[in-house]
Each structure stands twice: as structure tokens, then as C-alpha cells.
Amino acid sequence: MNHQAKKKFGQNFIRDKNLLMKIVRESNIEDKNVIEVGPGQGALTTFLASNAKKVIAYEIDHSLKPFLDAIKNEYENLEIIYEDFLEADISQYTEDLHVVANVPYYITTPILFKILETDNIKTASLMIQKEVCDRLLAKPNHKQYNALSIILQYQAHVSKMMDVKRQMFFPIPNVDSAVIRIVKRDEPLIEKDKELVFVRLVKEAFKQKRKTLVNNWYEAYHVNKQELEMFLKSNGYSPNVRAEALAVEDFIKLARMWSYD
């Protein structure tokens, strides 16, 4: 069977069996329920189905059905759903789920947010663009550090599993990749009633990276700048501090003390 990779779906297929086995092995999915996003021609799917309790694979490209149906015939624990994962109702599953996927670059962020927002997804191993992986793992005062870095690190333990050279894909993409490992925290780092405050504070703080926290928050919350400066100083921060200088713990501290709408 031949299949022409579709650019509109961000299709780049991996065929290196050693790499695929390593991803599955380090994802710790033995006897667990797995979701695969974009199984493509099923190279990773086969190894997942051989190790997991159950695999639910979401594929948006119906032209890949012949490849995937051939694999499905070999594994009773494999379910293939021809639907956009971003539109899928994952809440229908009551069991804990673990995502393993070679993610199309153009929808990396929406997939990340869906994983974070779905309570019964406990871990994820995602093949993503290396630059994006570095950004998600970035620490304060690094040029790639941003709001998503903080929100992800707040919600989960995040690490890099491995780098993957572009030559391991077909067709070969323009950039290298990496596999990121996300393990959600058992307990939130902040009280439930402060979570939305924390997330908004972080997002607004990075709206314009060149601006100070005071200027970004002034534009978002319309609180007097002198009052915002006093708020920062009273909590031990310079009134001229920028978002990129603050760690997750700093934003948690400020969210707990925040009293503005």
C-alpha cells in the first residue's frame, strides 16, 4: 500500500523500530489504557498495542484506513476512531488514560491544552518540534521561557525523553524533534479557588514580554500602577520586574496574595 503524506495534516512518519520501541518502553504503558493521536500508518500503534491493555487511536485522515484496519485485525485491544482528537469527547472514558503520540507540529499547543484539561489523562509522551520542547522545559530568564512553560510545569512534572533527528522521518521535516514526557501532579500546587487567578496572572504577565509586570497587569486589570508597584514590593519583588524573571513558585505566591478582579 502506498500513501502520499498530506501536508495539511502535518504528516511525517517514523519507521525506525528501535526508536519506536524506546518511546514505548520509556512511556511505561504496560497494562495501561493508551490514547494515540494521529497513528498514521500504524508504525507506533503496533508497539503500543503489543504492550498496553488497550489502545484508542484517533486518526483524522480516512485515507489511512487500509493501513490501520490491517493492524486492527491483529490486535483485539486496538480501537481506531476516525475523528479529530481535538473534537473528541474524552470524558466518555472512565479509566485513567496515557497519551503516546507523534504530534503534528501545527496543533501541538491545542493538543497540550486538551491533555492538561482532561482529568483522566495522567501522562503523555509526545514527539514534538525540538524548539517547542525546549520552550516547554525553559526556566526563568531564558529567552524561550513563556506562559505555556509555566502553566505546564505548574500542572505536571516535565522532562525530555530523547532528541530525534529530522532524518528519522519520512518525508523529512525542516526541523529536529524531541520526545517530551509529561506526568501530571497528583495534587495541585495552589488552592482550587486560586487556580484561575494563577493562570490569568501568568498569561497576562507575558502578553508583551518587553513590558514589566506592572505595565502588563495594568493593561489587563486596569489597576492603578502605583498600587501594583506597592503590591510587588510588599511581596518582595522589584516594581520593575518582568515576567521572565519569575519562577512557577513566584506566580503561585503572587496569585495567593492577589485581590484584584
pLDDT in 10s for each residue of the chain, 261 residues: 444 443 444 446 677 888 999 999 999 999 999 999 989 888 899 999 999 999 999 999 888 898 899 999 999 999 999 999 999 999 899 999 999 998 888 889 999 999 999 999 999 999 999 999 999 999 999 999 999 999 999 999 999 999 998 877 766 767 899 999 999 999 989 999 999 999 999 999 999 989 999 999 999 999 999 999 999 999 999 999 999 999 999 999 999 999 987
Residue ranges for the known binding site for S-adenosyl-L-methionine are 12, 14, 38, 59, 84, 102
d(CA 201, CA 243) in angstroms, rounded, equals 10
Tell me how far apart the alpha carbons of residues 80 and 41 are, in angstroms, rounded to a whole number: 12
Query: Which residues line the annotated binding site?
Result: 12, 14, 38, 59, 84, 102
If you count them, how many residues does the chain have? 261
Q: Tell me the whole-structure pTM to 2 decimals.
A: 0.88
Q: What distances in angstroms separate CA 71 from CA 57, 212, 226, 259, one per listed residue?
A: 12, 54, 64, 55
Count the alpha carbons within 13 Å of 169 in the hemisphere toward its beta carbon: 24
Q: What is the pLDDT of residues 120-172, one digit of tens each?
A: 999 999 999 999 999 999 999 999 999 999 999 999 999 999 999 887 776 67
Distance spanning both ends of the chain, measured CA to CA: 58
User: Cβ(146)–Cβ(206) under 8 Å?
Assistant: yes
Inter-residue contact 96 to 31 (CB < 8 Å): no
Give every CB contact of residue 61 below 8 A, 6+ residues apart in sequence.
6, 9, 11, 40
Domains and CATH numbers, the chain: 7-184 (3.40.50.150), 192-257 (1.10.8.100)
Query: Cα separation of 149 and 182, whole Å?
Result: 12
At 199, is the secondary structure helix, strand, or coil? helix
* Backbone torsions φ then ψ of 179, nearest 5 degrees: -105, 120
- How far, in Å, CA of 89 to CA of 169, rounded? 30
Q: What are 29-46's pLDDT values in tens digits?
A: 999 999 999 898 888 999
Q: Angle, nearest 10°, between helix axes 43-51 and 65-72?
A: 20
Is the omega angle on the peptide bond into residue 173 within 30 degrees of 0, that is, cis? no
In 3-state terms, what secondary structure has residue 100? strand
Distance CA 254, CA 251 (A): 5
CA distances to 18, 90, 184, 195, 248 from 199, rounded to whole Å, are 39, 23, 16, 6, 11
